[in-house]
Structure 1
Amino acid sequence: MCPTVLIVDDHAEFRRVARELLEADRFTVVGESADAADALRAVEALQPDVVLLDVRLPDGSGLDVAQAMSALPSAPHVVLTSTADYAWAASASGAVGFVAKAGLSGPALRALIEVA
C-alpha cells in the first residue's frame, strides 16, 4: 500500500503540481494546507504517513512546523521543499529528506517518500 501524503505549501499552483505528480504515481494525497497552523491541525486530523512541507510559510517557518510534527505521537515523516539554499536544514528540523522545488519530479518524490 502506498503511503498517504499531506501537501503543505502556500502556493496553490505548487500544491496542484505536487498532487498531480503524486497521484500519477499512485500515492494517496489525503489533504492540502496553505499555512503552518492548518498543517498542524491537518496532521492531527488526517494522520498522513508523509508530509511534503514548504520551508517558507506565511505564518511561520516550515522548519518549526517539522519539529512540532516530530513531537506528535503518530509523527509523520517530513520531506521539506524549498530552494536549494535550505537543503542543510532538513536533518536539523527532523525531516527525512529535502527536494528543491526546481527539481520536483515524480521520481524524486517517489524516492524520498519511499525512504521515509
Structure 2
Amino acid sequence: MDDDPTFRRLARLLLAAHGLDVVAEAGSVADALSTARRVRPTAALVDVELPDGDGFALASELTALDWSPRVVVTSVQSGRRFRAEAERSGAEAFVLKADLATAPLAAWLAVG
C-alpha cells in the first residue's frame, strides 16, 4: 500500500524478485482495507504516510483481520520510533524504502 504508483510498480518487481506473489495494490488506507477484505492477502507492504491515514494504524487493522496477514511497514523517513510503532502495530518489521532491496522480505512476509 503506497500512494505513489511508481513506487508500487517498483515494490511489485522487488517482491516478485523475493519470490512473493503480488495479488493487489492500494493507494490509500480506505482502498487497502477494502481490497484486503476482498482479496484476503497473506501479507502486505505498507507505507507509513498515506493520503487518508497512518500506515501504522493500517498495519494494526490488517494484522487484526481474521486471517492475520503479515505486514512490513516502510518509509523514506528513518527513526527509532518507527521501529517501535511497527512492533506495536503487529507488523513483522519496519524497513526504510532505501533498504527494501536487501531486506529479508520473503522471511518477513512469506507464510508457512
Q: TM-score range by the shorter chain?
A: 0.7 to 0.9
CA distance in 1, matches of 2:32, 2:57: 12
The residue that corresponds to 1:84 in the other structure is 78
Task: Tell me whether 1:59 sits opposite 2:55 in the alignment.
Answer: no
CA distance in 2, matches of 1:114, 1:73: 17
Q: CA deviation at 1:111?
A: 3.6
CA distance in 2, matches of 1:14, 1:47: 22
**% same residue:** 42
TM-score, with length taken from structure 2: 0.86
Which structure has the highest strand share of the two? 1
TM-score, with length taken from structure 1: 0.83
The residue that corresponds to 1:32 in the other structure is 25
Is the 1:10–1:33 Cα contact (8 Å) retained in structure 2?
Answer: yes
CA distance in 2, matches of 1:14, 1:53: 11
The residue that corresponds to 1:5 in the other structure is none
The residue that corresponds to 2:100 in the other structure is 104
Structure 1: which 5+ runs fail to align?
Answer: 1-7
CA RMSD between the two structures: 1.9
What is the number of residues matched between the two proteins?
109
CA distance in 2, matches of 1:67, 1:107: 21
Deviations 1:27-82 (A, max 9, x none): 21001000000000111111111100011100000111111122211121111011
Is the 1:81–1:101 Cα contact (8 Å) retained in structure 2?
Answer: yes
Runs of 4+ in 1 over 4 A off after TM superposition: none
Is the 1:22–1:106 Cα contact (8 Å) retained in structure 2?
Answer: no
Structure 2: which 5+ runs fail to align?
Answer: none
CA distance in 1, matches of 2:55, 2:88: 12
CA distance in 2, matches of 1:95, 1:41: 19
Q: Which amino acid aligns with 2:94?
A: F
CA distance in 2, matches of 1:111, 1:71: 20
